Amino acid sequence: MRRTLEQAADLLQGLMQPGEAFSAYFEGEDSDFARLNGNRIRQAGNVLQRRLTLDLMIDGRHAEAEFPLTGDPDVDAAQLRAATAGLRALIPHLPSDPYHACAGPGTPDEDLRPGRLPGRAELLEVLTGTAEGLDLVGHCASGRLCRGFAGSAGQWHWFETERFSLDWSLYHRADKAVKGRYAGREWDPEALASRVRGTRDQLEIMARTPVRPEPGRYRVFLAPAALAEILSVVAWQGFGVRAARTRQTPLLRLVDGDAELHAQVSLDEHLAGGQAPRFGPEGFALPDRVALIRDGRHAGCLADSRSAREYGVPVNAAAERPRSLEMAPGTLAMDDAVRAVGDGLLIADLWYGNLSDRARCAVTGMTRYACLQVADGIPVAPVDPMRFDVSLYQLLGPDLLGLTRERETLVDTGTYGQRSTASALLPGALVRDFPLTL
């Protein structure tokens, strides 16, 4: 795939006329995938795709075209010539763009992250074999992901990684299910089998008679996946410099210094520890780490290339939403977390979340997937789906009792158009007064 981008960049360089410049952002993958239900394979295949976004720049104006590449030099050359000619004809009719930015010359770099991947047959054999006799529904993907950037000023970035991801649910009936995940670059069949056995054990509790708590406030342990859902809602506009400067961020009180979170809470965008490339579509090299919240206080914002130019700050993100969010660990042992609940709830996952009150940074959503009633520190029964509405200022402020010292890597298993490179590294959270509204 790297050769495909190299050939495209060489050809584009030769097509440039005086006063013209280009940038080319490459996205590619070679992925095996399978979808399952009833613990049987229902769809399997391979996706091999290469996609290029070409940006042609002339005298402060620019236009983009996005199209697939085949890897055949002659076919791709014809597409590149046609796209360049079309953009060249369009640009004179466009206004100048004062906030458009593209990285200047720099040192070429590459980031190669090879993995030890399972064969598709082995992966599916371990997954379905461990779940034999159960209603397993899920998706798995494994293979190579590539991102690259080339520019007419000689800019060059290349990122390549090999990784796998599995996302499954074991169903008892209707909405009574337990969700499991396993992802990484180093395949370990026993680690997958152990996780499936763990979800199998939880499924036995889901078979018990469900309870429906009265609306009220409960002592709760939020597993990392549940905490990730809440943070992902806040992250849509919470950490960007544009949202902060236009006063649209739901974390405005934190940004202004009028509110603080618990001193245990520190959040970073940590590209060096995540799954995403350390450059963006405009070719800017990005820092390994950007502090967002430090010891409960606002520490910084994410600035993409447009916002950086508009607000006069350095580029430190490909987009103003975290792609490699990391929360600092606490001191609570994961094995002790449910016991520490005493009487309350274990929330392993959340169904969805939305902002309900931007001023309070409040998130609403529904519980689902192994939300369990806990009595004397022991899970005893499944809980019917309940709506929650919680302010992050409370949840991770005075209501936070502790974060786990063990953290879980949560890989975005999205495949809309292509496999995602986003991930999060998060602890679980023990909280009090978690509000269930109905």
Q: Mean pLDDT across the stretch 6-30?
A: 97
Could you give the count of Cα atoms lying within 13 Å of 215 in the half-sphere of its Cβ?
Answer: 6
Q: Answer yes or no: are the C-beta atoms of 392 and 414 closer than 8 Å.
A: no
pLDDT computed for residue 36 by the predictor: 94
> If you average pLDDT over every residue of the chain, what do you get?
95
Give the 3-state secondary structure of 112-141: EECCECCCHHHHHHHHHHHCCCCEEEEEEE
Could you give the count of Cα atoms lying within 13 Å of 138 in the half-sphere of its Cβ?
Answer: 27
pLDDT computed for residue 351 by the predictor: 85
**DSSP state for residue 396 in the 8-state scheme:** T
Q: Answer yes or no: are the C-beta atoms of 330 and 340 closer than 8 Å.
A: no
Q: Does 233 have pLDDT greater than 80?
A: yes
Long-range pairs of 305-313 with CB within 8 A, sequence gap ≥ 24: 305/100, 305/101, 305/102, 305/280, 306/99, 306/100, 306/101, 307/99, 307/240, 307/241, 307/242, 308/101, 308/241, 309/98, 309/99, 309/100, 309/101, 310/99, 310/242, 311/241, 311/242, 311/245, 313/241
Rounded to whole angstroms, the Cα distance separating 312 from 98 reads 13
Q: Of all helices (H) and strands (E), which one includes residue 41?
A: strand 40-58
Q: Which residue has the higher pLDDT, 423 or 172?
A: 423
Q: Does 106 have pLDDT greater than 90?
A: no
Q: Does 175 have pLDDT greater than 80?
A: no
199-223 residue pLDDT tens: 888 889 999 999 999 999 999 999 9
Q: Answer yes or no: are the C-beta atoms of 148 and 5 closer than 8 Å.
A: yes
Q: Mean pLDDT across the stretch 59-70?
A: 96
Q: Mean pLDDT across the stretch 19-36?
A: 96
Q: Does 318 have pLDDT greater than 90?
A: yes
114-145 residue pLDDT tens: 999 998 889 899 999 999 999 999 999 999 99
Q: Answer yes or no: are the C-beta atoms of 144 and 177 closer than 8 Å.
A: no
Rounded to whole angstroms, the Cα distance separating 240 from 231 reads 14
Region of residue 380 (left: phi > 0; alpha: psi -120 to 50; beta: else):
alpha
Q: Does 186 have pLDDT greater than 80?
A: yes
3-state helix, strand, coil in the chain (%, to 5): 25, 45, 30
Alpha-carbon 197 to chain mean position: 26
Region of residue 125 (left: phi > 0; alpha: psi -120 to 50; beta: else):
alpha
Q: Answer yes or no: are the C-beta atoms of 188 and 397 closer than 8 Å.
A: no
Q: Does 414 have pLDDT greater than 90?
A: no
Q: Which amino acid is at 68?
A: P
User: Bridge partners of 165?
Assistant: 141, 183
Q: Does 174 have pLDDT greater than 80?
A: no
Q: Does 173 have pLDDT greater than 90?
A: no
For 15, residues 6+ apart whose C-beta sits below 8 A from its C-beta are: 80, 81, 84
